[in-house]
Amino acid sequence: MKRQEANKLLAKMLSELVDKNPDLRFGQILRNFGFVYETSVKINPQLPAIETETVYWKDEFYLESEDLAKRIIGPTDISG
């Protein structure tokens, strides 16, 4: 699969997810369905997570579109 094909597939997937999830904000859709990658680290395990959790967003500037599509829908569903 070429980059432009993967970009179009990702855009189509996003459009469908927006239609199927009208109550979610766009950022929630990106995060909940794997378009962006984050990790969280508890700074103090004795306090509630909301008070001590730090979220790190992975810089995926160089992530190829095909690799992102594979992460979201699985490698076997993408033919190239």
pLDDT digits (tens, 9 = 90+) for 33-57: 999 988 777 777 777 766 666 777 7
**pLDDT exceeds cutoff 90 at 20:** yes
Domain for residue 79, yes or no?
Answer: no
Domain for residue 80, yes or no?
Answer: no
Domain for residue 47, yes or no?
Answer: yes
**Total domains, the chain:** 1
The separation between CA 41 and the C-alpha centre of its own chain, rounded to angstroms, equals: 18
Residue range of the domain that includes 54: 3-74
Task: Give the residue, 64 or 38, on which the prediction is more confident.
Answer: 64
Domain for residue 34, yes or no?
Answer: yes
Please state the φ and ψ torsions of residue 58, each to the nearest 5 degrees. Answer: -75, 130
